[in-house]
Amino acid sequence: MSDSKSEFNQDGAAVVCRGVQKAFGSGPSRLEVLRGVDLEAHYGEMTFLLGPSGSGKTTLLSIIAGLLKHDEGSVRVLGKNLSKLHNGEASLFRLQNIGFVFQQFNLIPALTAAENAAVPLLSAGWRRKDAIDQARRLLSELGMAHRADVLPNKLSGGEQQRVAFARALIQSPRLVICDEPTSALDGPTGRHVMELLRKIALNPDRAVLVVTHDFRILEFADRIAEINDGVIQKVTAAKGVS
Amino acid sequence: MRFIAWRMLTGDRPKYFGLILAIAFSTFLMSHQMSIFVGLLDRTRSQIRDVQDASVWVMDPKTQYVDEVRALSFQDLYYVRGVEGVRWAVPLLKSVARAKASDGTFRNSILLGVDDASLTGLPQKFLAGDWRALRLPKTVAVDRVGYEYFIGKPPYQTGQELELGTQVVRIGAVVDASPPFVNLPVFYARFSEALDMTGREPRQLSFILAKAQPGVSEEELCRRIQAATGLKALTSSAFGWDTIWYYIRNTGIPINFGITILIALMVGALVSGQTFSLFILENMKYFGALKAIGVTSRRIVGMILMQAVIVLAIGYSLGISLTALFFELTKDNLDLRGFRLLPEVMLLTGGLVFVVVLMAAIVSVRRVVVVDPALVFRG
């Protein structure tokens, strides 16, 4: 698998969705969740996917992540059509190129903060000590050096989110997907982690896609795509973003 | 990833120990019940097994098992002795006689009359006295159950008197006989003495015990005796199995015990399988997260199988050790003699527990492999 920049979309989009359709079930119980979604997430930008519950955000996210196959349309992520990859290839692609921040963080309770952050490196075959050392360095950058050996249940929500960021960024992925990153946090903490995310995650070679329905954090977006009823209703660019 | 699998398994101590205890409990339940069942069936042939000198049993053609005897005549004994290939043949009396101690305590007992000259059929392990005592008139050997019932607890001593059938006899030896199916006292006397104790009848010969000449196989000797005399002749092993199968076919013991073992198996399977499934289910969102991050399904399957093998190995070892400990602690209990943990039971239990946990792991693996992405993203 090649992930060289030559394969990247020429117009600078890390994610390009065109006419994506997805339905579940069949016959009378068939439910069309995505009905022709067009979406782009660009390098060097934070793209927010905004929509109410049931609008198709999670389904679209799962398709972009390569965890779900779409029925119609095309999806290119970092220049790759993930639906054409075998499961093993898609897993390796995710491991090397995509960082995930989950709504409930999904930190493994039995692992310390540093061990949790090191999971992608361990999955990639790093030696345990090297992986955990690397995780400690990243946690230090996130102001979590003193909490690196603490189990998740002893961490606050904001601290857990920072560990989740470290886990998402430790492989220097080109795409970071954040699913409702502030939904489990209070307002000030949510703002703080978004500031942190913007600071550490954004760079010209990386795109950040944030799924949210938290209007309090929209100010951090470079581009907002509003989805409703399985269709992108409107895409708004922030000031200074073309 | 082995490190992550290990930490996921052991990180939650209550669940980890719960899993191990569930598998240990299932293992104990299954191995204990199977051991009791096997031990019970093995008891049915204990008197055959105790006869170590002779290798061939001759009996009435219609005899089905060792505890149901139709007497032979002494003429039959002479016929058997005349069969080519027979090295020697001796009589064995198996009867029931009422024994009564001096304080009035009485109990029906098994009386075995062994050959006067060779004492063939007498157990070879003595706890008090020895075989020479049976040479004396009106002297018997008694097993541990009989001694402790009529005389008292160890240390075992000789010289006490009691009534056996129609005679007053003296205990000349205490033998370590295998426990019979029904835990009755067992007395051994010389054949001629035993006839006196039971009251003489024209046909009082229960079995003929024979030994083959060198170069003649036991099976061949059995064929020759049957052909020459019309009597039934079986090797000790074959007669033992015939006796076991008689009990299996004709009593409710195997069915009831089979049901008990089946219930133990089902309970064990449910407890250990369900506990392991629940463990995986509760960790599903973490496996899902790992999958989303890019850990391949194959590696996740490997993690789950590793977790299954660890809890299986520890739980099984603990359970089988408990069973072994139970039989070790109860080995001197007269009512539980003969029950022990056999290697075959260990293997069978291990196989069953392995299959159950493996099936639970496979079901769990399937759930993880086809995990709903929504679960990963919604937590």
Say what the pLDDT of residue B378 is: 61
Residue B132 forms contact with A (CB below 8 Å): no
Q: Closest-CA residue in chain B for A89?
A: B296
Percent of all residues in chain B with a pLDDT value above 90, rounded to a whole number: 34
Does residue A3 surpass a pLDDT of 60?
no
Average pLDDT over all residues of chain B: 87
Question: Least CB-CB distance to A65: which of B7, B292, B379?
Answer: B292
Distance CA B265, CA A157 (A): 45
Query: What integer is the mean pLDDT of B341-359?
Result: 88
What is the nearest CA distance from B250 to chain A, expressed in angstroms? 57
Query: What integer is the mean pLDDT of B225-229?
Result: 94
Say what the pLDDT of residue A5 is: 40
CA dihedral sign, ordered A197, A145, A108, A160: negative
With beta carbons less than 8 A apart as the criterion, state whether B122 and B181 touch.
no
What is the nearest CA distance from B21 to chain A, expressed in angstroms? 20
Say what the pLDDT of residue A39 is: 92
Q: Are strands A98-101 and A72-77 parallel, antiparallel or unpaired?
A: unpaired
Percent of all residues in chain A with a pLDDT value above 90, rounded to a whole number: 40
Predicted confidence band of residue B77 (pLDDT cuts 50, 70, 90): very high
Does residue B3 surpass a pLDDT of 50?
yes
Say what the pLDDT of residue B324 is: 94
Taking CB atoms and an 8 Å limit, are B292 and A87 in contact across chains?
no
The Cβ of residue B317 has, within 10 Å, a number of other Cβ atoms equal to: 15
Terminus-to-terminus CA distance in chain A, angstroms? 32
pLDDT in tens, B11-46: 888 888 988 998 898 889 889 988 988 888 888 898
Does residue B214 surpass a pLDDT of 90?
yes
Predicted confidence band of residue B79 (pLDDT cuts 50, 70, 90): very high
Residue B108's SS3 state is strand
Query: What integer is the mean pLDDT of B52-57?
Result: 90
| Domain coordinates in residue numbering, chain A | 9-237
Predicted confidence band of residue A199 (pLDDT cuts 50, 70, 90): confident
With beta carbons less than 8 A apart as the criterion, state whether A134 and A166 touch.
no
- The answer to whether the bond into B155 is cis (omega within 30° of 0) is yes
Residues of chain B neighbouring A115 (CB-CB closer than 8 A): 4, 7
Say what the pLDDT of residue B207 is: 94
Structure tokens at A147: 């909490």
Residue B297 forms contact with A (CB below 8 Å): yes
Per the DSSP assignment, residues forming a β-bridge with B233 are: B58
Distance CA B14, CA B25 (A): 16
Query: What integer is the mean pLDDT of A59-75?
Result: 89
Taking CB atoms and an 8 Å limit, are A95 and B293 in contact across chains?
yes
Does residue B374 surpass a pLDDT of 70?
no
Query: What integer is the mean pLDDT of B160-174?
Result: 90
Say what the pLDDT of residue B203 is: 58
Predicted confidence band of residue B282 (pLDDT cuts 50, 70, 90): confident
| CATH entry 3.40.50.300 includes domain A9-237 | yes
* Residue to test with chain A: of B293, B298, B370, B371, most A Cβ within 10 A: B293
pTM assigned to the model: 0.76
pLDDT in tens, B310-327: 999 999 999 999 999 999
Say what the pLDDT of residue A6 is: 38
Percent of all residues in chain A with a pLDDT value above 70, rounded to a whole number: 94
Query: What integer is the mean pLDDT of A154-167?
Result: 89
pLDDT in tens, B185-209: 999 999 988 888 887 665 578 999 9
Residues of chain B neighbouring A179 (CB-CB closer than 8 A): 377-378
| CA-wise closest residue to A56 among A212, A182, A231 | A231
Does residue A160 surpass a pLDDT of 50?
yes
Does residue B294 surpass a pLDDT of 50?
yes
Does residue B300 surpass a pLDDT of 80?
yes
Say what the pLDDT of residue A176 is: 92
Say what the pLDDT of residue A1 is: 35
Question: Least CB-CB distance to A123: which of B7, B288, B295?
Answer: B295
Distances in whole angstroms, Cα of residue B215 to Cα of each of A89, A142, B210: 71, 88, 15
Distance CA B145, CA A208 (A): 83
